[in-house]
Amino acid sequence: MCPKENAAQIQSQIRALQDTIYVIGGKWKLPIIHSICKGNKRFTDIQHSIPGITKRMLSRSLKELEDNKLIVRNVDPDFTATIEYEFTQYALEYGKLILDMIRWGENHHKVITGKGTKR
Amino acid sequence: MCPKENAAQIQSQIRALQDTIYVIGGKWKLPIIHSICKGNKRFTDIQHSIPGITKRMLSRSLKELEDNKLIVRNVDPDFTATIEYEFTQYALEYGKLILDMIRWGENHHKVITGKGTKR
DNA sequence: CGGTATCCTCTCTGATACTG
DNA sequence: CAGTATCAGAGAGGATACCG
């Protein structure tokens, strides 16, 4: 598991890993990703699909996801300034990793609660 | 990317994913995992191998990793109460996912800084 | 050596009101 | 509709001192 690289390279790997976690970390990023995944594209639609989220947190989280190029914000000025959020191709490539993380998390839950098959 | 399951199941998947992130999230978990990976087993050795960490945070983080069964705490009462931390077999199975996350994080860094091949 | 206890700070999140 | 501004609370993390 532990690669045999020099110290500087490993520090950079740890940072890479922390970045990976940061991008989808926090309280709302994953529910938002899921909501867009389900077909919601507009700010208010996304907000209503996630119980408990405020405009403030939705706005901030969308901006961070956009900064990380996982979603794009499309403004259509012709049709009364409709704004839509969509996944980037890049985000779709992230999908497999997310599914792996889900699988690990589900198994982990069983392990911790003592109903697991492993350990 | 988005599975076609019912709502309750998806909520549980999102929770599973948030758990996955939480287990290795925070400021010190990954450096600690790396330090043990490199062969450090004792509290003080781990502490000295991670610049800036305090006893308090090391203690808390080790306890959380132990609660999540990624490491075990072995007390040897015969030899002046030596205490050693080690990975569980379970943690080693986590390794592949961590490597995938590192790879994504490294590529992500290139994408965000504009030097990436993707996007 | 391997921790705990206490206090403090700083960031993240929530509530609410306002805006083009 | 799609946000921004402001303020307040909760929680993560840091500094330091103490303990078996």
∠ CA A57-A58-A62, nearest 5°, is: 115
With residue B75 as reference, give the H or E element that holds it.
Answer: strand B71-76
pLDDT tens column, A11-70: 899 999 999 999 999 999 999 999 999 999 999 999 999 999 999 999 999 999 999 999
Three-state DSSP at A60 gives helix
- Nearest CA to CA, how far is B7 from chain A (Å)? 10
CB A64 within 8 A of CB A91: no
Note the strand D nucleotides within 7 A of protein beta carbons.
Answer: 1-6, 12-17
Q: Which residues of A touch B65 (CB under 8 A)?
A: none
* Domains of chain B with bracketed CATH: 7-89 (1.10.10.10)
Distance from CA of B46 to the nearest CA of A (A): 15
Residues 78-107 of A with CB under 7 A from strand D: 82-83
Q: What pTM value is reported for the model?
A: 0.90
- For the stretch A77-114, pLDDT in tens is 776 779 999 999 999 988 889 999 999 999 999 999 87
Of B90, B97, B101, the CB nearest to A111: B90
Whether residue B100 contacts residue A100, with contact meaning beta carbons closer than 8 Å, is answered with: yes
How many CB atoms are closer than 10 A to CB B32? 26
| Residue A88 sits at the chain B interface (C-beta within 8 Å) | yes
A58 and A50 Cβ atoms separated by less than 8 Å: yes
Of the candidates A15, A2, A29, A7, the one whose C-alpha atom is nearest the C-alpha of residue A98 is A29
Longest dimension (CA), chain A: 59
* Length in residues, chain A: 119
Q: Stretch B73-80: mean pLDDT, rounded? A: 82
Residue A86's φ and ψ, nearest 5 degrees, are -140, 155
What pLDDT is recorded for position B115?
Answer: 65
Assign A119 a pLDDT band (cuts: 50, 70, 90): very low
Contacts of B8 (CB under 8 A, 6+ apart): none
Query: What pLDDT score does B1 carry?
Result: 65
